[in-house]
Amino acid sequence: MTLQLNEDVSAMYDLARRFAGKEIAPFINDWDEAATFPRELYGKAAQAGLLGMGYPESLGGIPATQALRNAVSIALARYGGSGGIMASLFSHNIGLPPVLHHGSPALVQQVIPPVLRGEKIAALAVTEPGGGSDVAGLKTSARLEGNEWVINGEKVFITSGMRADWITVAARTGNGGARGANGVSMIVVPGDAVGLSRSELRKMGWWCSDTAHLRFDEVRVPAGNLLGEEGSGFRIIMTNFNGERVAMSAMALGFAQACFDEALDWSRQRKTFGAALVERQVIRHKLVDMQMRISSTDAWLNAITARMDAGDEGAEWVAQVCMLKNHATQTMQFCADQAVQILGGMGYMRGTRSERIYREVKVMMIGGGAEEIMKELAARQMGI
């Protein structure tokens, strides 16, 4: 099916809300404590039409505007209340776009349809132990021997890295690996490749999302697994980042709304000195401050998304995306902090959405480009 704008935004939001309420919210506390979630959730999300949004029908996807995709992200974040679930369940949305746009027809057919059906898991591997946002300085190497790429190096903080079946890897190619951005290429590596080893990383938040340290020791993959032309990887990665930052902004908005919802509900129920918390001016003002930031983030996200869906993704738009990502995650941070404060001791207890989201704030402010990087990139795009 092909989704259109207007009423379909509300329909997809409601679909995602119901999915989160049935398939995520009742189990998330247990999944967080277990530091994992059932692989079957991928299949359920695929059946609901959530995994294939934005991908061609010919590959099993559902063509959709960014506005529709945002609606799903916001609803799942707001009513599921778990960044860990969203990070892993939708890791294909950063792992697959380079394959979709730059892979050979055979590679696209091999990789994408099973992932969109929830049968396989895809991940992106760019960050290395020695550097995060400095993509041009990555050290993982790939040399061409006959009809195979031979990969050596390490990747770290890789979402879905422990169980990914397909990993889109950034590596330095060419004789000795050309320096800088021009020497970076993107190569798709199967999860069962000989020489690939993985170790699990433990985190402050996103407990149920597997995060891995990957090591490539003479890993061999077919030459056809190269995406685009050799040396075009830096441009592919930078383009991929823009979509990721818009998605993270939508998620941050949903998490901020989740904190507001919980704080408002608690303030209406909790009584102190004979009156509900919400009757206290200081509490009402905290809730207004939260909503003020939520509303501004919502408006900014809508404006950015409208331009994106209209095909306007120039330098000034990129600058806006960088600033929006910072604003949205700061909104999430503020609302999580205020919600925990309003909930008091209960806000410090595991099991509340605000406590979980409070733990997850920092990864949202760092992932996809740290605040400082976003400011610098925005300044450059604006010619400052």
- pLDDT at residue number 136: 74
pLDDT at residue 238 in the model = 86
- With H, G, I as helix, E, B as strand and everything else as coil, classify residue 218: strand
Enumerate the β-bridge partners of residue 347.
Answer: none
pLDDT at 7 over 80: no
pLDDT bucket at 191, cuts 50 / 70 / 90: very high
Q: How high is the pLDDT of residue 8? A: 86
Q: What is the pLDDT of residues 38-68, one digit of tens each?
A: 999 999 999 999 999 999 999 999 999 999 9
In this prediction, residue 178 has a pLDDT band, given cuts at 50, 70 and 90, of low
- pLDDT greater than 90 at residue 72: yes
User: Residues 6 or more apart from 350 whose CB is under 8 A from it?
Assistant: 29, 32, 33, 356
Which pLDDT does position 182 carry in this prediction?
81
- What pLDDT, on a 0 to 100 scale, did the predictor assign at position 137? 82
Residue 154 annotated among the catalytic residues of the structure: no
**Helix residue ranges per DSSP H, the chain:** 7-19, 28-34, 40-47, 66-80, 83-89, 92-95, 97-102, 105-116, 233-269, 281-309, 315-343, 353-366, 371-381
Using CA atoms, how far apart are residues 374 and 210, in angstroms rounded to an integer? 26
Long-range contacts formed by 343-348: CB under 8 A, 24+ apart: 343/262, 343/263, 343/266, 344/270, 346/266
| Residue 384: pLDDT over 60 | yes
Q: Which of 131, 129, 133, 149 is nearest to 141 (CA)?
A: 149
Q: What is the pLDDT of residue 25?
A: 97
User: pLDDT for 312-347, tens place per residue?
Assistant: 889 999 999 999 999 999 999 999 999 999 999 999
Q: What does the pLDDT read at residue 180?
A: 72
Residue 291: CB atoms within 10 A of its CB come to 15
- DSSP bridge pairs for 143: 150
Q: Which candidate in 23, 128, 230, 244 is catalytic?
A: 244
Cut 0.75: pTM above it: yes
Contacting residues for 126 by C-beta, under 8 A, at least 6 apart: 135, 138, 155, 170, 237
The pLDDT score that the predictor gives to residue 199 is 97
Query: What radius of gyration do the chain's Cα atoms show?
Result: 21
Half-sphere exposure of 185 (CA within 13 A, CB side): 27
Q: What percent of the chain has pLDDT over 70?
A: 96
Beta-bridged to residue 151, according to DSSP, are 142, 219
CATH numbers and ranges of domains, the chain: 7-90 (1.10.540.10), 122-231 (2.40.110.10), 235-381 (1.20.140.10)
Percent of the chain past pLDDT 90, that is, above it, reads: 87
Tell me how long the chain is. 384
How do 184-190 and 166-172 pair as beta strands?
Answer: antiparallel
Taking only the tens place, the pLDDT of each residue in 74-83 is 999 999 999 9
pLDDT higher than threshold 80 for residue 291: yes
